[in-house]
Structure 1
Amino acid sequence: MIMKLLAQRRLQAFIAVIIVLLIVTFYVLQPPSPKKIFLPYDSELFAKIEGSIFEGFDNNTGTPDGTNIVPNYVHFIFFEKSYITYVTAVCVLAAFKNQRPDKIFFHTNVEEFTGPHWLKIRDTLGSVLQIRHIDMPTTIFGQKLRKEWLPWHAGDVTRIRVLMQYGGIFLDNDSYIVRSLDVFRKYEMTIGITDFDYLGTQVFIAHKDARFLKLWLESYRIYHPEDWYMNAGEKPMREILAFRPELVHTVKILLGVHGLTDRLYTWDTWRNWRKYYSIHLVIRLRRDVETWWHYLLWPSIDETNICQYDKPFGEMAREVYSEFCQKQHNVT
């Protein structure tokens, strides 16, 4: 009996050793993941902004007398997309209603926009809307932008160039202005921070001569096609703002570029959204957080079913684009 027990123990120990060896071998033979290497302080890079009109500017306090130096322009980019979705229309109309901009620019490479929501935008905005036809970049400093991510990486580059040309407020097509961003127009440039302490590229407020814009574009001389968000959000934080945080006015929470999807699409009540200045809706992640039965009822969201959408985003959308709901209410 004792010999049998010892034999079982030896067998168990042998199996345990084999399992450990297999695990170790698996990790040893795994190809190494590419390391994220960030450059140290680059004096040559930062020399490019010497003599700027903003040299010595205080981005903690802004202009001494509170004067707005960022023009009241709002910019959207549309590459390869002619059909305007309901959610995009909501965000454009929220910018028009809550920011009251002098101009809203659509920077696009499509010939013309289509769909009922485009007609709603066109008829509502009138002369405030400016359509600017541009080519979608496919390279940056001689480096090809990754083909699979081309519209997005091209948009990352273009938003920098647009702000360097015009200044103003840049918004992703699913970024919703809750209340006026004028409080930030007295700063050289204002940014938000994501959950991972990256630069939130979904909302910017910037003067066209903002020093950070020039440095950020220069940082693309080393382009990382293998990484979705490296050049856009991670690299500029680690290689520029880590050394020169005074180049921007930083907003930790209230620009809403961190993860809010669960509150927007799963909470029954979330009144605090009104305290934000803007919110990135991240509409593409709605399916990942909603319950299956709720998503079954609203597989897509448009002006006809937003009337019954019982989550915080429904309330946000109805405040700026809900004529169908109003007509339905009058009929009933």
Structure 2
Amino acid sequence: MWQKKTLPHTSITHSIPATDVNYNCTPVVPRILHLAWYGSKTRPAFRFHHVISVMSSLRFIQPERIMFWHDEVPIGKWWTFIRQKINKTTTSLVLMQREAPKEIFGRPVTKSEHHSDIVRLEAVMKYGGIYHDLDVIVLRPLGKLYCHNTTMGEESPDYLCNGFFMSVANATFLKLWHDSYHSFDSTQWGYHSVKMPGIIAKRHPGLVHVEKDTIHKPNWEVPERRKLYEDGVFYNWTARNYAVHLWYRFHNVDYNPESIKRLNKTVGQIFRYIFYGLSYML
């Protein structure tokens, strides 16, 4: 037996707005959502946390269209489920088939994560819009972030994570970032995906708006991840987060609509909030 319950530090969770049109500035980033699906041959099925991610964007971004970049289309019941969800909204789903890039500027690209890194950057450069990983959960409208030419979230003081970014098409920051791939080395795991945008931001701070603690906090480091996944620990995501990055490859547990009812941890709160529309259920 379970019932709705609100924890003391989540007093504002039921007042988070569904829309946010009062920017007090001119929005320039189009409501195009880019998602990427690469490296799926070993596990091709869409999963429940992917559903939560897309549902969160349907609710808070309300994109005009979703451009789903992929080498192969996902399979499974949750892929069918989310396509049905999208069909019930005003959002159009566009399947953007693109083979995994084998090289960039003549330099070999061998890892699926790097394939996705390149596809997402080139997609937003060309079309503008918002990109986020399928383990990023959007928690409230992005509001004034639409008014910056480019926005990224800080992962740590020297790193900007490419798991979420938004931009106008052909932004100078994105061009500099893309041009840095002339020195790409696949043995350097996160250099071009997180370190290089951090370097460019420090050199050209006027080209990018940086959100320090509203997108990728808690970060991927163990003490931070515990705030998401440790039983009885509740991170106050309602206070300021535009989104939460789940860093799911470090957790990698399959959930479903029934099992999330009993998750006594932050990720349980977030999943229930998006899937059921309530901030906390026990």
**TM-score bracket for the superposition, by shorter chain length:** 0.7 to 0.9
The amino acid across from 1:67 in the alignment is T
Residues 36 and 70, structure 2, Cα contact 8 Å, conserved in 1 = yes
Residues 107 and 131, structure 1, Cα contact 8 Å, conserved in 2 = yes
Trace 1:317-332 onto structure 2 (pairs within 5 A): 317-322=271-276
2:131 aligned counterpart, secondary structure: strand
Q: What is the deviation of 1:319?
A: 2.2
**Amino-acid identity (%):** 26
Quick one: distance in 2 between partners of 1:107 and 1:65? 33
Quick one: distance in 2 between partners of 1:113 and 1:200? 25
The amino acid across from 1:119 in the alignment is T
Residues 94 and 176, structure 1, Cα contact 8 Å, conserved in 2 = yes
Structure 1, unpaired ranges of 5+: 1-63, 288-298, 324-328
Quick one: distance in 2 between partners of 1:206 and 1:167? 5
- Give 1:246's aligned residue: 206
Question: Of 74, 85, 97, which aligns to 1:113?
Answer: 74
State whether structure 2 residue 99 is matched by structure 1 residue 139: no
Residues 39 and 113, structure 2, Cα contact 8 Å, conserved in 1 = no
Deviates more, 1:202-211 or 1:303-312: 303-312
State whether structure 2 residue 29 is matched by structure 1 residue 77: no
Quick one: distance in 2 between partners of 1:312 and 1:279? 10
Quick one: distance in 2 between partners of 1:317 and 1:98? 14
Q: What is the deviation of 1:128?
A: 2.4
- Give 1:50's aligned residue: none
Do the aligned partners of residues 182 and 209 (structure 1) sit closer, same or farther apart at CA in structure 2, a change above 3 Å counting? farther
1:209 aligned counterpart, secondary structure: coil
- Give 1:103's aligned residue: 65
Question: Of 232, 237, 240, which aligns to 2:198?
Answer: 237
Question: Of 176, 199, 203, which aligns to 2:164?
Answer: 203
Q: What is the deviation of 1:65?
A: 6.4
Quick one: distance in 2 between partners of 1:188 and 1:322? 34
2:69 aligned counterpart, secondary structure: strand
State whether structure 2 residue 123 is matched by structure 1 residue 123: no
Quick one: distance in 1 between partners of 2:273 and 2:81? 15
- Give 1:277's aligned residue: 242
Residues 264 and 281, structure 1, Cα contact 8 Å, conserved in 2 = yes
- Give 2:15's aligned residue: none
- Give 1:59's aligned residue: none
Q: What is the deviation of 1:322?
A: 4.9
Deviates more, 1:211-220 or 1:193-202: 193-202
Let me know the Cα RMSD of the aligned residues. 2.1
Q: TM-score by structure 1 length?
A: 0.69
Deviates more, 1:68-77 or 1:188-197: 188-197
Tell which has more relative contact order, 1 or 2 (C-alpha 8 A, sep 6+). Answer: 2
Runs of 4+ in 1 over 3 A off after TM superposition: none
The amino acid across from 2:272 in the alignment is R
Q: What is the deviation of 1:196?
A: 4.8
Question: Of 113, 123, 134, which aligns to 1:162?
Answer: 123
Structure 2, unpaired ranges of 5+: 1-22
Q: TM-score by structure 2 length?
A: 0.81
State whether structure 2 residue 263 is matched by structure 1 residue 301: no
Q: What is the deviation of 1:242?
A: 2.2
- Give 2:251's aligned residue: 286
1:200 aligned counterpart, secondary structure: strand
2:274 aligned counterpart, secondary structure: coil
Quick one: distance in 2 between partners of 1:75 and 1:300? 24
- State the structure with more CA Rg: 1
How many residue pairs match? The answer is 245
Quick one: distance in 2 between partners of 1:182 and 1:104? 19
Trace 1:6-45 onto structure 2 (pairs within 5 A): none
Quick one: distance in 1 between partners of 2:181 and 2:102? 13
Quick one: distance in 2 between partners of 1:270 and 1:186? 31
Do the aligned partners of residues 120 and 142 (structure 1) sit closer, same or farther apart at CA in structure 2, a change above 3 Å counting? same
The amino acid across from 1:193 in the alignment is E
Quick one: distance in 2 between partners of 1:322 and 1:65? 31
The amino acid across from 2:245 in the alignment is H
